[in-house]
């Protein structure tokens, strides 16, 4: 039985975490021995993980103290492949991997537009790690990103001579295409109003400030709607305060973290992404599978790999509340189409994406 190791920041709520869970579940269900090394102890996604997966949490505390933790497990377990995600963690994975003298292929996956993340983050460790990535990434066997656009950005920003593969996020399981929830997940779906979903961590890069300002424009125009904001984060109190300041308390509900996003998307009329930057936003793909009308800010060129034309969704300028509000209003008046699902969701199926990972790692069955 071949052994695959994932290096993950945590199993908390997030797109990267969801990707890791989908891959791990697929591999363990197809006869692989799967271990996930987590640097933090957040566990919201743990209940979605197959019980046959081995999860090991670090007790190092500070993020940069995890190299010995990774080294120990790389050296001791002799994995057949190591997959590391998130750029500031990838740097530690490379260092620990080289020190362990492991012969397993090491795959580094970047899940964001790295140049934009570097320009916006104020976290000193992340900035230092990204600077270091230029020198350590070439030691990995395979470097990949989650879209054509982010792969091009990664190669240019880190000045890599090695090619960067594109590995689309494994988001949609075959059963998702015919999924029907047992019940409505929130009382807002009984309000007889159009429901707008926003899903993402309450952090600066997700720009909920823009979203709420656009909703204020809709309310002033007497548009009938209710918005559900799924997620949690460090800016929760600021978001609550802005909702009150704009007089949106009856029009917006915060759900906190939810582990059944697909249930919300199934009943929603629209999904809005309002980020400043993204890699390949998995929630848009989930919305596509549930036939939501999609709206996204132009937060990455990769958006066009999910929304290739106006029949699938609308792309609006970043930081423009009036334009976002206009797109929301237009989309609330139109129905979604089953045909766009059939045409655009196939490249994000878990099985196909997971097999592509095995292919780049040289683990495909002969």
Dump pLDDT digits (tens) for 170-208.
Answer: 999 888 888 899 999 999 999 999 999 999 999 999 999
Reference 63, options 91, 34, 35; nearest CA is 91
Contact (CB, 8 A) for 300 and 113: yes
Which tokens hold the place of 247?
Answer: 């007089």
User: Contact at 8 Å (CB) between 109 and 144?
Assistant: yes
Q: Lowest mean pLDDT: which of 145-154, 271-280, 335-344?
A: 335-344
336 pLDDT higher than 70 = no
- For the stretch 290-329, pLDDT in tens is 888 999 999 988 888 888 877 788 999 999 999 999 999 9
User: Could you check whether 3-170+349-361 and 177-345 share the same CATH topology?
Assistant: yes
Mean pLDDT to the nearest integer, 64-84: 94
- Report pLDDT digits (tens) over 251-278: 999 999 998 999 999 999 999 999 998 8
| Total Cβ atoms within 10 A of residue 365 | 8
Quickly state the pLDDT bin for 340 (edges 50, 70, 90). Answer: low
- pTM score, whole prediction: 0.83
* Average confidence (pLDDT) over 59-77: 91
pLDDT band of residue 165 (cuts 50, 70, 90) is very high
Backbone angles phi, psi at 32, to 5 degrees: -95, 150
Q: Please tell me the predicted confidence (pLDDT) of residue 342.
A: 52
* Domain ranges, ordered by start, for the chain: 3-170+349-361, 177-345
Q: Cα(255)–Cα(111) distance, rounded to whole angstroms?
A: 25
DSSP for 13-66, written as a single string: SSHHHHHHHHHHHHHHHTT-EEEEEESS---TTGGGS-TTSEEEE----SGGG-
Superfamily of domain 177-345: Glycogen Phosphorylase B; (3.40.50.2000)
Name the CATH superfamily for 3-170+349-361. Answer: Glycogen Phosphorylase B; (3.40.50.2000)
- Mean pLDDT value of segment 276-286: 88
């Amino acid at each position: 039985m071949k052994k695959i190791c994932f290096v993950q920041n945590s199993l908390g709520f997030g797109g990267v975490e969801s990707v890791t869970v989908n891959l791990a579940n697929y591999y363990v269900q197809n006869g692989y021995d799967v271990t996930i090394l987590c640097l933090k102890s957040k566990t919201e996604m743990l209940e979605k993980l197959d019980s046959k997966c081995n999860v090991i949490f670090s007790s190092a505390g500070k993020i940069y103290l995890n190299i010995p933790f990774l080294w120990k497990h790389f050296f001791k377990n002799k994995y057949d492949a190591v997959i590391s995600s998130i750029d500031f963690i990838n740097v530690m994975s490379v260092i620990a991997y080289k020190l362990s003298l492991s012969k397993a292929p090491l795959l580094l996956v970047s899940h964001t537009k790295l140049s934009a993340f570097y320009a916006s983050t104020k976290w000193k460790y992340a900035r230092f790690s990204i600077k270091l990535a230029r020198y350590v990434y070439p030691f990995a066997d395979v470097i990949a990103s989650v879209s054509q656009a982010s792969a091009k950005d990664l190669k240019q920003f880190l000045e890599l001579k090695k090619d960067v593969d594109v590995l689309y996020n494994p988001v949609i399981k075959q059963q998702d295409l015919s999924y029907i929830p047992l019940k409505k997940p929130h009382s807002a779906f009984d309000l007889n109003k159009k429901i707008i979903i926003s899903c993402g961590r309450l952090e600066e890069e997700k720009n909920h400030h823009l979203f709420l300002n656009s909703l204020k424009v809709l309310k002033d125009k007497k548009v009938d709607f209710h918005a559900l904001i799924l997620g949690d984060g460090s800016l929760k109190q600021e978001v609550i305060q802005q909702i009150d300041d704009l007089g949106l308390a009856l029009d917006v509900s915060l759900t906190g973290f939810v582990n059944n996003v697909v249930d919300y998307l199934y009943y929603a009329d629209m999904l809005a992404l309002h980020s400043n930057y993204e890699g390949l936003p998995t929630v848009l793909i989930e919305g596509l599978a549930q036939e939501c009308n999609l709206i996204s800010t132009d937060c990455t060129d990769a958006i066009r790999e999910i929304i290739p034309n106006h029949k699938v969704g609308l792309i609006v300028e970043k930081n423009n509340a009036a334009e976002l509000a206009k797109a929301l209003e237009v989309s609330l008046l139109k129905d979604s189409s089953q045909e766009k699902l059939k045409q655009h969701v196939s490249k994000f199926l878990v099985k196909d994406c997971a097999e592509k990972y095995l292919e780049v790692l040289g683990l495909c069955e002969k």
